[in-house]
């Protein structure tokens, strides 16, 4: 599809002069316009995933606007329909709005009224389609489950590392603070590998009681211990053919680390109560929030296991080191939360964006996601903490201003799907100044176009 600018509009009117005038006004406002002289021709362009709105005259031969609206609603009831009416048709248009029309324009109408109404309708359509995509991805474990959002150099390096090693059998050690998304990285590695159709088995070592840890990880035979009435397949054996993810591996008991080392080195597992070695074909992805080398030096982690895991290392930058990603990440989480809670996504004000960018987010991405949930539920003012006071080690005032300004531009371009015209209007900034700032911050509208 060609660049849609402000969005796509299907404009239907049997009068050529009205049709041409509407098309010209919309195209000057950066819309991609398809003009039709009748309803039947217009219906050829409509599908459930059509990314725009319909503007149609109410009175037309063969098929009128109300019948066209009904046909469109049968295809997709959430596709916005704007009706063009004569003075005597206003009661009919009001009734049509009760039946689901998005809005109506009474002739004669100024061109800015048409473009503004179309812009609101297209934005609503964009959110509907985005929520559908997220709903499908979330319900099916699709790309939203393991997508890595962001455009800062640290995130680009992270994505490049994942792409370089994903389709190999190399074991991986993921480093990152609490809440940075270590499991998301592990799932991304799995999803991009040849093992993607096999199990992804996750185990949080820090949440597993030591008394059942060995049985849970390695499995057991019937009668291996009191209460073991039947054979149990452990997480390692269950992950054979796929990926085993061990989160907080620093919490694994030392007595089990030597058994895990054998699994990694020899690709065999020996269940409790068994003398049989079971071959396993798996990839191990381990994650930690601590320095395992220091833990090994302190005797809290096996040194040989550390060096066995420390072959491919994927480091996730904390959120405070990728502040430019915060507005885009927050918008991503807002759309997910709106989908979960069945709420309309709320727009972020400049003041709220500034507050987001200025915080350090010690809980990283997880904390930001929680803030997005509160924002969607309308609880942000009651629960959000004020930004901490400036410290001597913090960014300078000029750096903070630049960071905030860059974040605002990124957020608006993302919200407008790369439309420079719409972003300029929303930010009320001269076109030349806007382009100067794009150059200053190394931004490109192409990065924000789906």
Structure tokens at 110: 């100024």
Q: Looking at the structure, do residues 135 and 157 belong to the same domain, yes or no?
A: no
Do 36 and 102 fall within a single domain? yes
Q: Residue 146 domain-assigned?
A: no
Same domain, 66 and 38: yes
Query: Do 169 and 303 belong to one domain?
Result: yes
Task: List pLDDT tens digits, range 286-328.
Answer: 999 999 999 999 999 999 999 999 989 999 999 999 988 888 8
Whole domain around residue 103: which residue ranges?
7-139
Average pLDDT of the residues of the chain? 84
pLDDT at 238 over 50: yes
Whether 376 maps to a domain, the answer reads yes
Residue 354 has pLDDT above 60, yes or no: yes
Token digits of residue 417: 């799907």
The confidence score (pLDDT) of residue 199 equals 94
| Better-predicted residue by pLDDT, 301 or 421 | 301
Report pLDDT for 289: 96
Q: What's the per-residue H, E or C state across the chain?
A: CCCCECEEEEEECCCHHHHHHHHHHHHHCCEEEEEECCHHHHHCCCCCCCCEEEEEECCCCCCCHHHHHHHHHHHCCCCCEEEEECHHHHHHHHHHHHCCCCEEEECCCCHHHHHHHHHHHHHHHHHHHHHHHHHHHHHCCCHHHHCCCCCCHHHHHHHHHHHHHCCCCCCEEEECCCCCCHHHHHHHHHHCCCCCCCCEEEEEHHHCCHHHHHHHHHCECCCCCCCCCCCECCHHHHCCCCEEEEECHHHCCHHHHHHHHHHHHHCEECCECCCCCEECCCEEEEEECCCHHHHHHCCCCCHHHHHHHCCEEEECCCHHHCHHHHHHHHHHHHHHHHHHHCCCCCCCCHHHHHHHHHCCCCCHHHHHHHHHHHHHCCCHHHHCCCCCCCCCCCCCHHHHHHHHHHHHHHHHHHHCCCCHHHHHHHHCCCHHHHHHHHHHCCCCHHHHCC
CATH number, domain containing residue 86: 3.40.50.2300
Judge if 214 and 309 occupy the same domain. Answer: yes
- The pLDDT confidence band at residue 399, using thresholds 50, 70 and 90, is low
What percentage of the chain exceeds 90 in pLDDT?
45
Domain assignment present for residue 202? The answer is yes
* Domain assignment present for 425: yes
Answer yes or no: is 147 within a domain: no
Q: How far is CA 165 from CA 175, 189, 205, 248, 428, in A?
A: 15, 8, 24, 21, 45
Q: How many domains does the chain have?
A: 3
With 70 as the cut, is the pLDDT of residue 389 above it?
no
**Arithmetic mean of pLDDT, 201-223:** 88
CATH code of residue 427:
1.10.8.60
- Among the residue ranges 204-218, 251-265, 337-351, the one predicted with the least confidence is 337-351
Res. 450: pLDDT tops 70: no
Query: Minimal CA–CA distance to 446: which of 75, 438, 331?
Result: 438
Q: Are residues 218 and 94 in the same domain?
A: no
Q: Per mean pLDDT, which range of 32-46, 167-181, 364-378, 399-413 is the poorest?
A: 399-413
Is the domain of 437 the same as that of 384? Answer: yes
Domain boundary among 266, 285, 316: 316
pLDDT attached to residue 249 = 96
Does pTM top 0.75 for this prediction? no
Q: Does residue 310 sit within a domain?
A: yes
pLDDT tier, 130 (very low <50, low <70, confident <90, very high otherwise)? confident
Is residue 145 included in any domain, yes or no?
no
Residues 135 and 170 in one domain: no
- pLDDT value at position 382? 36
- The predicted pLDDT at position 308 comes to 94
Give the domain-ending residue among 316, 331, 361. Answer: 316
On whether both 86 and 166 belong to a single domain, the answer is no
Q: Is the pLDDT of residue 29 over 60?
A: yes
Shared domain for 117 and 195, answered yes or no, is no
In a domain, 1, yes or no: no
In contact, 9 and 81? CB cutoff 8 Å: no
Asked if residue 201 and residue 308 are part of one domain, the reply reads: yes
Task: Please report, for the domain that includes residue 264, its CATH number.
Answer: 3.40.50.300
CA terminus-to-terminus distance, the chain: 11
The string of pLDDT tens digits covering residues 185-207 is 999 999 989 999 999 999 999 98
Q: Does 146 score more than 60 pLDDT?
A: no
248 vs 150, more confident? 248
Domain boundary residue, one of 265, 287, 316: 316
* Band (24; pLDDT cuts 50, 70, 90): very high
What CA–CA distance (Å, rounded) separates 145 from 132? Answer: 14
Same domain as 166, residue 246:
yes
């Amino acid at each position: 599809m060609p660049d849609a600018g402000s969005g796509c509009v299907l404009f239907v009117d049997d009068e050529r002069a009205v049709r041409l005038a509407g098309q010209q006004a919309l195209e000057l406002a950066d819309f991609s316009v398809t003009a039709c002289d009748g309803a039947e021709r217009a219906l050829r362009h409509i599908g459930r995933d059509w990314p725009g709105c319909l503007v149609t005259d109410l009175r037309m031969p063969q098929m009128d606007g109300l019948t066209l609206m009904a046909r469109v609603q049968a295809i997709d009831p959430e596709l916005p329909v704007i009706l063009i009416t004569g003075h005597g048709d206003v009661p009919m248009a009001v009734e049509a709005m009760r039946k689901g029309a998005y809005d109506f324009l009474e002739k004669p109408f100024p061109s800015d009224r048409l473009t503004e109404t179309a812009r609101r309708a297209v934005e609503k359509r964009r959110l509907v389609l985005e929520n559908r995509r997220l709903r499908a991805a979330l319900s099916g474990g699709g790309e939203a489950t393991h997508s890595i959002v962001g455009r800062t150099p640290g995130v680009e390096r992270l994505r490049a590392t994942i792409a370089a090693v994903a389709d190999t059998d190399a074991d991986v050690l993921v480093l990152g603070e609490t809440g940075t998304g270590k499991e998301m990285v592990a799932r991304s590695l799995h999803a991009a590998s040849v093992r993607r159709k096999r199990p992804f088995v996750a185990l949080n070592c820090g949440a597993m009681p030591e008394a059942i840890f060995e049985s849970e990880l390695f499995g057991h035979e019937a009668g291996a211990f009191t209460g073991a009435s039947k054979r149990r397949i452990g997480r390692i054996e269950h992950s054979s053919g796929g990926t085993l993810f061990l989160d907080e591996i620093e919490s694994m008991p030392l007595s089990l680390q030597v058994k895990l080392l054998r699994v990694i080195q020899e690709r065999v597992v020996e269940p409790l109560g068994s003398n049989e070695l079971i071959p396993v074909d798996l990839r191990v992805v381990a994650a930690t929030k601590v320095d395992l080398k220091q833990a090994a030096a302190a005797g809290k982690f096996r040194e040989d296991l550390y060096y066995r895991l420390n072959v491919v290392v994927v480091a996730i930058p904390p959120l405070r080191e990728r502040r430019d990603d915060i507005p885009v990440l927050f918008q991503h989480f807002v759309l997910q939360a709106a989908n979960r809670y069945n709420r309309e996504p709320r727009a972020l004000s400049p003041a709220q964006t500034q507050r987001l960018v200025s915080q350090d987010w010690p809980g990283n991405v997880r904390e930001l996601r929680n803030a997005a949930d509160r924002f969607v539920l309308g609880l942000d003012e009651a629960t959000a903490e004020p930004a901490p006071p400036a410290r001597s080690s913090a960014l300078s005032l000029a750096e903070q201003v630049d960071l905030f300004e860059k974040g605002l531009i990124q957020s608006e371009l993302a919200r407008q799907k790369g439309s420079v015209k719409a972003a300029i209007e929303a930010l009320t900034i001269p076109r030349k100044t806007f382009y100067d700032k794009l150059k200053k911050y190394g931004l490109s509208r192409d990065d924000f176009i789906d």
